[in-house]
Structure 1
Amino acid sequence: MTILLIAVIVLLGYLVKSRRDGNKSRAQASAETILSERYARGEISREDSVQMRKDIEEGV
């Protein structure tokens, strides 16, 4: 019984962590898409685009 309880707790922890990581990946993809669109429209320079992309990848 104790082993089953521990397994359930570990599984729940894993599910919570994977859900958080998935949300971060989607947010990063969205930010990169917006950045690409702004660069394509000429709203930001290449240098700004490169720096912002680095910031997104680093999680700044």
Structure 2
Amino acid sequence: MTLKQARNLKPGDKVKQNMFGYIMTVERVEECRVVINEFVNVICKTESGSIMKHKHKELLLMA
């Protein structure tokens, strides 16, 4: 997922975790800046109810 896609996410949107394929619902999006690195943390809720935080590069946008 690109930075632009991550910034446009809204609560309730569906995303898929890149490596394991978990489908999650977006809870909120947090902007992060570290010296030269810019990324977005996406806080998601899994189908089992667990809350997880992922960087935008670890997620895929679900249609």
Fold-level match, TM-score > 0.5? Answer: no
Higher helix share: 1
TM-score normalized by the length of structure 1: 0.23
Higher strand share: 2
Where relative contact order (Cα < 8 A, 6+ residues apart) is larger, the structure is 2
